Chain A
């Protein structure tokens, strides 16, 4: 079918769908509302069965929900500053947002991915990618805080990321935009000559620290999504590509010309052999690793100046291309590891490849061509089947534990359930509106928990009370325990919840910390008892060593600060009970508050600009005497001789 004809057909079908959708406006909810309400009801004081981690998208953060109630439990700041928690504002977390371009207060978060052991989410970490300035973050689920962010060099948009291997040996980062590697000043229309892609493999050491083990240099396509092999296909990582046309402008049209693009299959165990043989080239570059230490409560940045790169032409057997129709978006591997689903987003059908057939084709060297040293397998040699669903615009697929797959269709706005192996369509459920990713707890792992499906929709329109032109994106919860999917609940989300991950709550909640033990606090400016509270001047740097406990700060009267001083308030929260943070904020400080957890130390930086007496107070309602938890800092003129002094209760 010629592209233009296909487009017209698509438009016609979409038109039909929209038309019929409007007619059905009265039937856009759960079929049996009282039974649906019971299924999502979690009684007051009871806990949800699952944690769900939803990407905050362009908020840059990660939202934590409980399922099935859809209670919002927490928003974890990751790639964007967050005044609520002082993240990116206090001295301790500022380095988390460092990059080789300096401090960046925002990014676009896309895909949360739980760490795995033996192919099953293990509840240790959630990884999430920053798409705009390529980065990957790691959130530690014992504290639900971002503890590491690594920058990805040689990448132009970190989209096919951060999908993990079965034991989190690696999380990956494939570039959505190819760029000159290494970066250089060239004409954009020299794309085909100068632009390349990089597939990055980030390894985790025994302490869980991330660093880049290697990159694979690939042709200048757009690398869209990824998922690792599992079970028998463990050792392989699959990436979708589009723009195999290598267009650099009007990609809407120009990157949709080829009938097939590729799924790239990378044999990372082979890559390890090549690395051990010294086949990798050191490419000079610059990238940062920002690590937050839970003992010093402080982040530091490490700079790396080169990265190991494997070049396919020099490394036979490292990577193959599987032709896959129509700009495949998601690539999803079923729980057995045999089937690799290509969600051809400009098509009506899904293409499913067979891992066994892929291995046989590689062994038979049955190639239809080669690009930059990467063999292209023959489509008919690797394809296992096609799901002819009748839907339009397939994007993503997840799996349950009963051998069923669930695929989202953006254009026809629905989830389609089909049988893995027979490719038979079993059920379909409309989404409101325009569903992107979906999530089933454990649905991209070897052992899905199943039970629920969350559809994450791109368009909200009339689903909630209107809130002006901007509407929060909508998510929808389905019960998938029966033969038919049953819509239970709509709930609004933060930013754009591209992807999500779900995990049985029991795997996570037992490890959740309640406090930081004060005697383990190794912050360079900690004071472990109130008697050590003091104010120290070194030139124009003034350090206030302050403590908090219900309901006072020590010291709470400070004099001798001068205009132009660089004031650091190092607040240690002496509380040792769960959920007893204290905040602090200072009138006129060009900064956010601190929000200090029990046993933690954080630092507020302030440069006073005018003489006067400045109140400060606790910002987190802490006790019956919270309103009394306050103090004063006297700021004198630059030439003043008011002596430095501090006190409490005098």
Chain B
């Protein structure tokens, strides 16, 4: 076997192994794109999002003390990107309670990394807001719940 034949044989082995692996993958679904799937078709109020909050029932009346604490937390940790009165880096929370479920809101606060990867509404918002993903400000569940109560006052 001369050098050329050897080289050819090696190349052939490479080609076979490459071809083999690509045919194996032929049936697999193509890689998911965050952008092309960003269509929210379901009723947004039925979407509870992805994260630690599975179910939450709100009392009929707003707890004003809790809302006041929530306002303070919001102003300290969130206002760099969210303004109560206008769209800024991210959306305004004004009227959010009629647009999103309470579970979704808390999951967005507590679990933003996973939300923008797998929740259809969060994925759509990421595109709409210039690909600026929401920062995880490490709120506790208790803090996030208070912020939610504050949002109830922003009708």
Residues of B within 8 A of A (CB): 75-77, 79-81, 88-89, 130-133, 135-139
B76–A547 contact, CB under 8 A? no
- CB atoms of B138 and A552 under 8 A apart: no
The contact string, 1 if C-beta is below 8 Å from chain B, for chain A 515-556, is: 100110000000011110000000000000001011110100
Q: Report the nearest B residue to A575, measured CB to CB.
A: B135
The docked-state distance in angstroms from the alpha carbon of A624 to that of B34 is 14
Q: List 29 A-B contacts (CB under 8 A).
A: A515-B138, A518-B76, A529-B75, A529-B76, A529-B79, A530-B79, A531-B79, A547-B80, A549-B81, A550-B132, A550-B133, A551-B89, A551-B132, A552-B89, A574-B77, A574-B80, A575-B135, A575-B137, A576-B135, A576-B138, A577-B135, A577-B136, A577-B137, A577-B138, A580-B135, A624-B131, A624-B133, A625-B131, A649-B88
What number of residue pairs across chains A and B have CB atoms under 8 A from each other? 49
Measured in the bound complex, the distance between the Cα atoms of B154 and A207 in whole Å is 46
CB < 8 Å neighbour of A518 from B77, B131, B133: B77
As a 0/1 sequence over residues 616 to 650 of chain A, the CB contacts with chain B under 8 angstroms (1 = contact) are 00000001110000000000000000000000010
Q: What residues of A have a CB within 8 angstroms of the CB of B77 in the complex?
A: 518, 574, 576
CA distance in complex: A577, B77 (Å): 11
- Among B75, B80, B131, find the residue whose CB has the most chain A CB atoms closer than 10 A: B80
B139 CB contacts on chain A under 8 angstroms: 576
Nearest CB of chain A from residue B143's CB, rounded to whole Å: 11
For the complex formed, measure the closest distance between the CB of B103 and the CB atoms of chain A, giving whole angstroms. 22
A515, A531, A574, most chain B CB atoms within 10 A: A574
Q: Who on chain A is nearest to B89 by CB?
A: A552
| In the complex with contacts A577-B137, A577-B138, A624-B132 CB distance below 8 A | yes
Give the distance in Å from the alpha carbon of A173 to the alpha carbon of B77 in the complex: 46
**B139 CB to nearest chain A CB (Å):** 8
For A519, the closest partner residue in chain B by CB is B76
Known contacts A549-B81, A574-B77; A623/B137 CB under 8 A: no
A552 to B77, CA, bound (A): 15
Among B76, B88, B89, point to the contact of A528 (Cβ < 8 A): B76
Give the docked Cα–Cα distance between A529 and B88 (Å): 15
Among B136, B137, B139, the most chain A Cβ lie within 10 Å of the Cβ of B137
Q: Residues of A contacting B136 with CB < 8 Å?
A: 576-577
- Measured between C-beta atoms, what is the minimum distance from A12 to chain B in Å? 53
Cα distance A519–B75 in the bound complex, in angstroms: 12
- B86 to chain A minimum Cβ distance, whole angstroms, is 10
Residue of B nearest to A625 (CB): B132
| 6 A-B pairs with the lowest CB-CB distances in the bound complex, closest first | A549-B80, A576-B137, A577-B136, A530-B80, A576-B138, A624-B131
The answer on a CB contact under 8 Å between B135 and A549 is yes
User: Which residues of chain B are near A625, meaning CB under 8 Å?
Assistant: 130-132
Bound together, the chains give a CA A625 to CA B132 distance in angstroms of 7
Whether B132 lies near A623 (C-beta < 8 A) is yes
Interface string of A491-532 (1 = CB under 8 A from B): 000000000000000000000000100110000000011110
